[in-house]
Structure 1
Amino acid sequence: MAHPNSFGARATLDVGGKSYRIWRLDALKDHGFDPGRLPYGLKILLENLLRTEDGVAVRADEIRALAGWDPAAQPSREIAFTPARVVLQDFTGVPALVDLAAMRDAMRALGGQPDRINPLAPVELVIDHSVIVDDFGHNQSFRRNQEIEYRRNVERYKFLRWGQTAFDNFRVVPPDTGIVHQVNLEHLARGVFTRDADGVTEAYPDTCVGTDSHTPMVNGLGVVAWGVGGIEAEAAMLGQPISMLIPRVVGFKLSGALPEGTTATDLVLTITDLLRKHGVVGKFVEFYGPGVAAVPLANRATIGNMSPEYGSTISIFPIDEETLAYLRFTGRPEEQVALVEAYAKAQGLWHDPAHEPQYSERLELDLSTVVPSIAGPKRPQDRIPLTEAKPALAKSLAALPGAPQSNPAVVRLPDAGEFPIDHGAVVIAAITSCTNTSNPAVMMAAGLLAKKAVERGLRRKPWVKTSLAPGSRVVTDYYEKAGLTAYMDQLGFNLVGYGCTTCIGNSGPLIPEVSEAVRANDLAVVSVLSGNRNFEGRIHAEVKLNYLMSPPLVVAYALAGTMDIDLFNDPLGRDAEGRDVHLRDLWPSAEEIQAVIRSCISSDMYTRGYESVFDGGELWRGLDTPEGSLFDWQDDSTYVRNPPYFQGMPRQPQPVSDIRGARVLALLGDSVTTDHISPAGSIGKDTPAGQYLREQGVEPQDFNSLGSRRGNHEVMIRGTFANVRLRNQIAPGTEGGWTRDFTRDGAPVATIFEASQNYLKAGTPLVILAGKEYGSGSSRDWAAKGTVLLGVRAVIAESYERIHRSNLIGMGVLPLQFPEGQNAASLGIRGKETFEIIGVEAFNGGVTPETVRVRAGDIEFDALVRIDTPTEAAYYRHGGILQYALRQLLE
């Protein structure tokens, strides 16, 4: 279809003797609009619409609506956003590739051409979530963890290698390279994207969606990018635009500079606290003002990375000199850097600290007011000033069930002797996650603190499991050059792998003797990590309290061995002469840190580190790779199975129907996250997933993690709603994946999986009832996939997190909302009732009803239908986004 070019925006940009076709924003001035007043992020969306206008998905009316954006208006206008590229990690990437392979089979079954199923947008998958900290604390830990990782995941890795050859536009970054977001920041992000079209080279903003909620990390580079569910990402890969409402934009003005002794982690925890309290869910956040220049690119990326923790879609910094300097520093070609600069200035995307765009809301922060902080014990937005850490621990312990009193246990460790540990003992200290390991300042601070500690004779406490899992190999390069590796090793922070470990729940087992003492004495022990996620049950099933903090503080708490310490006044230990050693004695100054960075980090480290990033090492290259355009599914595979989404799928969608005779599978409270819903972490041998694997002949030591088995729906549905900290109110007195089975006499307590299977056999549809912020947390497709495969037809919640609501629709589950100010308790619903949901059939006439009538026993109310756009309604009518995309390609 010819491009209408309704606003005459097509133009040419010459850079370094090369011409590019661009779509100029200032062309809209001739049509009565002033794009200069728009926030940076909306300018990127506006260019996207100008360039993709086709008269169908993108019409002139949508362009006018965005160009004439009213900052005071509530979001109501739908637009279609087409990202330049898609980024995947392997936990979410494997099921995405499984679905594409299954779609090829379905295309053939429906009489179409299987090879039409290909990513239409460039897709890059980084294998980074599969390494587990099985081995730690010595110089062979990385090699041993790598060997275990390949042994466990060989089926998955062969499948990904097949995908690399079978699909066009699909590239894989092999294991042991780095974390997806740091690789994206340091190498994959382009700043300005180019492609050949109609014999000319087009230039346009680099935009991206990713299947990890921390995709906004590249917002620090001025790249509009956010996390979506795997389901939505698959549709984007298949050429479907992402439907979204024009958002409200929060302007966040920065001034001043960080004071001595504070870190980027302190800054990001402060911003997370402020934005969470302000309320930015589903909004764009944009940083501007004179303080922006004082925020290094790595700090900007750290702030962007935490977007899902305060709920914004993006948290972006406009392009400026700091952006260009980082692109050069990380080895981007000079031609690319020149294009980014020229394009940004030509399109009004260059940051002018004196210019204040129009914003829906405004916040301000003087950077000089930031203080050292941590966050926990179970949510990243719960910031605690470091000065209050000790009393905050006492308060958290008192709030635990049973308010545990002091209960020391003696731990006998080989080669270390006997030690007492009590509530508040630190049992995991992990420098991990993309948030901080991409930031040389905080990593150097950790290394320098370790050096000073070793020189004063301090060592980590022997009950602490320590680990270092950098986001890229560049970190170990500059640690080596700075001479800091040896000191980190002496404190037990040996390299364990390059990937997402503790933060995703891949902590591995605790020290066995410590684990035994924790369980025997029911100790409330602690993890400290430099990550971005600390939700209940996520880090480790035996660890009840989890705190986020900067890498140097992780080292400090490993030395202390307990959170029950005042780091400002209590000593961390004693030196060889018996003198107290305090944190202030070890903390490096900003000048010390910068001096080491200047002398030990160079651009060629990034150039060398990424020059063969897609090739992999010997283990990867030596994999036996399947061939052919259709995948040869193996019936005995416990990792990769053909999913049931397309079985019996007709060429035309069947009418949707009202929901009758439904039962409640789970009645949940507020802040139930996708970490409570989605299968993640380790697999217990007596859990439904563990029992299934044992039936398939898999020994417990080879169970691997739930995340690694996301390509097997049989494992995943057994792990859905199975988090050890889930509290289902219709099964009082239980914790974990339990419910009541109303298909059996007396409605006995059963596992959620077992009950769901009985409901499915009885033909009984299921509903989930929930409170506020349902589905907050990571953008996990399996939180929605598992829900639908358990037989859930609808969810009724007080409010939703953006991505999870979208994912439910993408799997054909109806998201409903209780009336304003109401919930299950206020309506008198106890979860024992039989439900009817009437009015759903209006969708068949092309109408999206505002409400539907819900009957729960004798209780009736009107539930708000949270299908917010016509495109979402189309997905729901088709039974899901994948079925919709497949039918579109079939025709």
Structure 2
Amino acid sequence: MHDSFKSKARLDAAGKSYEIFRVDAVPNSARLPFSLKILLENLLRYEDGVTVKRADIAALANWDAKAEPDREIQYRPARVLMQDFTGVPAVVDLAAMRDAMSALGGDPNKINPLQPAELVIDHSVQVDNYGSDSALELNAQLEFSRNRERYRFLKWGQQAFDDFKVVPPDTGIVHQVNVEYLARVVFGREVNGVLQAYPDTLVGTDSHTTMINGVGVLGWGVGGIEAEASMLGQPVSMLIPQVVGVKLSGRLPEGATATDLVLTIVEQLRQHGVVGKLVEFYGPAVKSLPMGDRTTIANMAPEYGATCGLFPIDDETLDFMRLTGRSDEQVALVEAYAKAQGMFDADGTFEADFSETLELDIGSIVPSLAGPKRPQDRVPLTEIKASFAGALKTQNAERGVDDRPAVTTEIDGEQVAIGDGAVVIAAITSCTNTSNPTVMLGAGLVAKKAAALGLKVPAWVKTSLGPGSMVVTRYLEAAGLMDPLKQLGFHVVGYGCTTCIGNSGPLRPEVSKAISDGDLTVASVLSGNRNFEGRVHPEVRMNYLASPPLVVIYALAGRMGFDPYNDPIADDADGNPVFMRDIWPTQAEVADTVSSFLGQDDFRSTYADVFAGDAHWQKLEAPAGKVFDWDPSSTYIQEPPYFQGIQMEPEPVQPIRDARCLAVLGDSVTTDHISPAGSIKADSPAGHYLVEQGVAPGDFNSYGSRRGNHQVMMRGTFANIRLRNRMAPGTEGGVTLHQPSGEQESIYDAAMRYQAEGVPVVVIAGKEYGSGSSRDWAAKGPRLLGVRAVIAESYERIHRTNLVCMGILPLQFQPGESAESLGLTGSELFSIGDLEDGNAKQVEVTATHADGSEVRFQAKVRIDTPNEADYYRNGGILHYVLRRLAVA
């Protein structure tokens, strides 16, 4: 290794001596934002004269804050974090790469994590049971029965791969477990026989990996394929980014919560535009923000569009580490290292050179919700009644329906009327808020006051409490708040990511029938971070994000169409109206409860034996060996076809000729629209496949649980029930028109038909294509359907990268141009010109109409870095890595 700047030094902390690479050895580094200091240290530590050169280090230190990013660097995160939905296919790919490595004549043991890799099983529990003390155990039993094959496979992976750990199911949500336990903040690790200290950095296979930014750890979400490459020692290729500073001042006013603060930040940063940029929070208010508030804000970086939302390391960070049971030695190392490297903000006054600076007085924050279908669509609580009415009118107009009367039905012997705007799901869920004791205990206090007045939740509301870790249950019980939550139906249903990712489970049959009979537009209110169309529940068209206390309020009201400030929530046991103000706790009440009932013992006992798992996990038998024995009859785990017939040398990049369009899509098409998610319908291509394999519809499980089977996933690609393909007007779901026949069929069937005809396919889209969660199947699925290129007006960062990493060409319309402006309907033949072996920055696209007339336009090639060009030339990043390792 090189050390051009003589940065190698010693650091003594807690009785140990560590090798470090001092950032201040590089001129001009002191002015850098914390995030760039972390990247600079990374380059210093990995300088080798090949992937990292002296000039790269100097370029980062001399970063021009205002300039457009144009300098590529190679960044190597310290670890990789996965959850099971995205982690299973990653481990499947690694297992398949071992087979492919053998086929190429290489050593399969080279396919092994070179950095710590941790996977938390948290995305598979579903809310089948709720409202009872038995809900947790019943849901856990169903989870294991549905996912036994997947869990056996992960147990195999834990023994087959080095430095790979699995946190078993029913422990907590990956991001909360990461914050409370897995994060080191600073690593102390032996590297080539030398004890080194360096920043804890990571990439994760979930977009909300950014939650870890709250504790001063630089990390963000990537696709599973990028994460696999990182595990295999490949650097993350990136342009030195712009960094936006957000200066926070003031204090949260009475009645406002961290959720309201983050919804405001999401709205404002989305409007400003921070996509592809790093965001750092600083200023006088940061020092007084507790860690729960910081992680809430950091969690939702994908919603405000940033790569990350970093907070500094400071005294609050150290206090949080002590609270969560980190050792005194680890806390001492973090403090000594961060101060030595200029990465510690001692008094909240540090200001760096930022590309832009925005300011927010958090004293202006007001209680809010966001919805009905995007997290950036914040609505002040004072305006929610009118906003909901307008959104309902708009949605009904889009559907071509009029206002409809409520449907009367009987539930548990009671006649109830369910109408438009009924809240049928009220879920305290998601890592965003369940990591924050302030809002969780606030919800408990609302429940306590409501229960004391005899308020009850209407029978049509499905209530659930999905804590992000067992710590939450411990402090709610200690504070005496679990019982009142249960009185309102908020029993613990599982420790994992539930409603926020569509694992909300079925509604009561009476409620489902009322929705269907009345063609009703009903709502959910959840404390999550995502509320995209079709995500929460297929029968629920309007979804609102809210703080946990507001979730309780709307559960009690059972309806969206009321003004929480002026309309009563319900009547008490004596028939008197109860208003929100009657049961809302003060900040002082919440703060006293937090200080009285949140302690270190909760964290130490929760994580004392975190990798052991419960009795279900311990009884689970798993195969042994270093190479996986694929079962061709499995409907959960199948060997993917990506490496079949792979040769040592890739085929030359060729122009794309006479392709057909699979779909013409509008703006804000999310990875939820593209990637299979949620339940599998019996009449869908994936449902037909499973039935053919002998799987009963009751055992379909979810798409997420079957991500290790490409046969299921490719059939569910572009199959979201809310997808609108402009090629098939008047339809919703995965429908297209085959060309040139004009026959309507499923997107999957059309894609298979094109493959049989030897015809490549493309997809056309609008702005922000691929926004939302980092789903590798949003790129893998299209690849298996034969998609060779996507032409969009703009892309979300992670999805564009994932397309390249799967060998799909991302093209971008020129500013002001779109499918509509060019008159493209999807019926044309598309040809894409010379890509200059993947190095072209612009390419001509020719669209030929049925009458032979042509539309020619220039498209920007969104292969953004030389590394990405290598991936594209090789047919994808995994092919590139495999070929390199085979000859190493």
* Length-normalised TM-score, structure 2: 0.98
**Structure 1 residues 778 and 763: alpha-carbon distance in aligned structure 2, compared to 1, 3 A threshold:** same
- Asked if 2 retains the 8 angstrom alpha-carbon contact of 1:398 and 1:404, the reply is no
Q: CA deviation at 1:195?
A: 1.4
How do residues 204-353 of structure 1 correspond to structure 2 at under 5 angstroms?
204-351=198-345, 352-353=347-348
Match of 2:598 in 1: 601
Amino acid at match of 1:871: N
Q: CA deviation at 1:381?
A: 0.4
Pairing partner for 2:5 from 4, 7, 10: 7
Amino acid at match of 1:818: F
Give me the whole-angstrom Cα distance separating, in 2, the residues matched to 1:783 and 1:230: 11
How do residues 686-765 of structure 1 correspond to structure 2 at under 5 angstroms?
686-742=683-739, 745=741, 747-765=742-760
Match of 2:858 in 1: 862
Asked if 1:771 is matched to 2:792, the reply is: no
Deviation per residue, 1:548-580 (Å, 9 max, x gap): 000010011010000011000111111122211
Give me the whole-angstrom Cα distance separating, in 1, the residues matched to 2:613 and 2:191: 31
Match of 2:49 in 1: 55
Asked if 1:104 is matched to 2:98, the reply is: yes
- Asked if 1 retains the 8 angstrom alpha-carbon contact of 2:659 and 2:761, the reply is yes
Deviation per residue, 1:208-238 (Å, 9 max, x gap): 1000000010100000000000010000010
Pairing partner for 2:372 from 374, 377, 381: 377
Amino acid at match of 2:289: V
Asked if 1:787 is matched to 2:782, the reply is: yes
User: What root-mean-square deviation, in Å, do the aligned CA atoms of Structure 1 and Structure 2 show?
Assistant: 0.9
How do residues 819-858 of structure 1 correspond to structure 2 at under 5 angstroms?
819-840=814-835, 842-843=836-837, 848-857=839-848, 858=854
Q: How many aligned positions are there?
A: 879
Q: CA deviation at 1:338?
A: 0.7
Q: CA deviation at 1:73?
A: 0.4
Structure 2 counterpart SS, 1:96: helix
Pairing partner for 2:124 from 130, 137, 140: 130
- Asked if 2 retains the 8 angstrom alpha-carbon contact of 1:633 and 1:641, the reply is yes
Give me the whole-angstrom Cα distance separating, in 2, the residues matched to 1:801 and 1:476: 36
Deviation per residue, 1:635-664 (Å, 9 max, x gap): 110000000000000011111111001000
Give me the whole-angstrom Cα distance separating, in 1, the residues matched to 2:648 and 2:839: 23
- Asked if 1 retains the 8 angstrom alpha-carbon contact of 2:834 and 2:843, the reply is yes
Match of 2:424 in 1: 427
Amino acid at match of 1:20: Y
Deviation per residue, 1:606-648 (Å, 9 max, x gap): 0110011111011101111101111010011000000000000
Asked if 1:556 is matched to 2:556, the reply is: no
Structure 1 counterpart SS, 2:821: helix
- Asked if 1 retains the 8 angstrom alpha-carbon contact of 2:409 and 2:514, the reply is no
Asked if 1:883 is matched to 2:879, the reply is: yes
Structure 1: state its 5+ residue gaps: none
Deviation per residue, 1:472-494 (Å, 9 max, x gap): 00111111111111111111111
Q: CA deviation at 1:411?
A: 4.1
**Structure 1 residues 386 and 883: alpha-carbon distance in aligned structure 2, compared to 1, 3 A threshold:** same
Structure 1 counterpart SS, 2:662: strand
- Asked if 2 retains the 8 angstrom alpha-carbon contact of 1:448 and 1:484, the reply is yes
Deviation per residue, 1:690-743 (Å, 9 max, x gap): 111011111111100001100000000011001111000011111100001126
Match of 2:478 in 1: 481
- Asked if 2 retains the 8 angstrom alpha-carbon contact of 1:249 and 1:284, the reply is yes
Asked if 1:18 is matched to 2:12, the reply is: no
Amino acid at match of 2:66: A
Match of 1:189 in 2: 183
Q: CA deviation at 1:410?
A: 3.3
- Asked if 2 retains the 8 angstrom alpha-carbon contact of 1:410 and 1:418, the reply is no
- Asked if 2 retains the 8 angstrom alpha-carbon contact of 1:96 and 1:230, the reply is yes
**Structure 1 residues 444 and 76: alpha-carbon distance in aligned structure 2, compared to 1, 3 A threshold:** same
Structure 1 counterpart SS, 2:179: helix
How do residues 612-631 of structure 1 correspond to structure 2 at under 5 angstroms?
612-631=609-628
Match of 1:66 in 2: 60
Q: CA deviation at 1:354?
A: 2.5
Structure 2: state its 5+ residue gaps: 849-853
Give me the whole-angstrom Cα distance separating, in 1, the residues matched to 2:87 and 2:542: 30
Give me the whole-angstrom Cα distance separating, in 1, the residues matched to 2:823 and 2:409: 52
Asked if 1:528 is matched to 2:525, the reply is: yes
Asked if 1:471 is matched to 2:468, the reply is: yes
Amino acid at match of 2:865: T
- Asked if 2 retains the 8 angstrom alpha-carbon contact of 1:11 and 1:21, the reply is yes
Match of 1:818 in 2: 813
- Asked if 1 retains the 8 angstrom alpha-carbon contact of 2:411 and 2:510, the reply is no
How do residues 680-691 of structure 1 correspond to structure 2 at under 5 angstroms?
680-691=677-688
Pairing partner for 1:366 from 361, 364, 367: 361
Deviation per residue, 1:739-781 (Å, 9 max, x gap): 01126x3x11100000000000000000000011100100000
Match of 2:536 in 1: 539
Pairing partner for 2:639 from 622, 638, 642: 642
Deviation per residue, 1:140-170 (Å, 9 max, x gap): 0001000000000000000000000011010
Structure 2 counterpart SS, 1:826: coil
Match of 2:801 in 1: 806
Give me the whole-angstrom Cα distance separating, in 1, the residues matched to 2:399 and 2:330: 60
Structure 2 counterpart SS, 1:825: coil
Give me the whole-angstrom Cα distance separating, in 1, the residues matched to 2:653 and 2:293: 48
- Asked if 1 retains the 8 angstrom alpha-carbon contact of 2:215 and 2:291, the reply is yes
Q: Which moved more, 1:348-357 or 1:86-95?
A: 348-357
Q: CA deviation at 1:403?
A: 6.0
Give me the whole-angstrom Cα distance separating, in 2, the residues matched to 1:176 and 1:511: 24
Give me the whole-angstrom Cα distance separating, in 1, the residues matched to 2:789 and 2:644: 21
- Asked if 1 retains the 8 angstrom alpha-carbon contact of 2:214 and 2:295, the reply is yes
Amino acid at match of 2:195: T
Pairing partner for 1:159 from 153, 156, 159: 153
Give me the whole-angstrom Cα distance separating, in 1, the residues matched to 2:845 and 2:319: 57
Structure 1 counterpart SS, 2:448: helix
Structure 2 counterpart SS, 1:827: coil
Identity of aligned residues (%): 62
Amino acid at match of 1:323: T
Pairing partner for 1:493 from 487, 490, 495: 490
Q: CA deviation at 1:675?
A: 0.7
